[in-house]
Amino acid sequence: MKRVHNARHMTEAHLVRGLLESHGIDAVVRGDLLTGGWGELPVDVCAVWVTDDARYADADRLIRDFLKGALARIHGGAGWHCSRCGEDIEGQFTACWQCGAERPPSPE
């Protein structure tokens, strides 16, 4: 059993697991509670594990390719730049998490 991917949220973890299984690699999603430093709340982490260590390299390569392409599309493509406050926003957000400004229409 080897951890191949740390996901930002459950949806991503299950997406990655589905990808691996569609390529014949058995995988499981596990939630972990990581305790932070002094006075910090525990952080919820979800990770994808391959059950067969021999498939780790295959899984790792699949996930890298997947994250570069498909996941970027699912999350709405490249990140964008808030014109109001100048914050860099990840592609999946439709509004600025810093100041709440709406995502500007894409140039194309």
Q: Using CB under 5 A, which of 3, 8, 61, 84 touches Zn ion? A: 84
b/e map 32-58, b = 16+ CB within 10 Å: eeeeeeeeeeeeeebbbbbeeeebbeb
> Is there binding between residue 87 and Zn ion (CB under 5 A)?
yes
Do residues 44 and 11 make contact, with C-beta atoms less than 8 angstroms apart?
A: no
Cβ contacts of 72 within 8 Å, gap of 6 or more: 78, 91
> Is there binding between residue 85 and Zn ion (CB under 5 A)?
yes
Q: Which stretch binds Zn ion (CB under 5 A): 3-11, 31-39, 63-71, 91-99?
A: 91-99
Q: Which stretch binds Zn ion (CB under 5 A): 8-16, 26-34, 70-78, 87-95?
A: 87-95
Q: Which stretch binds Zn ion (CB under 5 A): 9-17, 42-50, 52-60, 80-88?
A: 80-88
Do residues 5 and 63 make contact, with C-beta atoms less than 8 angstroms apart?
A: yes
Q: Using CB under 5 A, which of 77, 99, 102, 104 touches Zn ion? A: 99
Least distance to Zn ion from the beta carbon of 72, Å? 21
State the helix-helix crossing angle for 10-22 and 56-68, rounded to 10 degrees.
120
Q: Give the binding site for Zn ion (CB under 5 A).
A: 82, 84-85, 87, 96, 98-99, 101
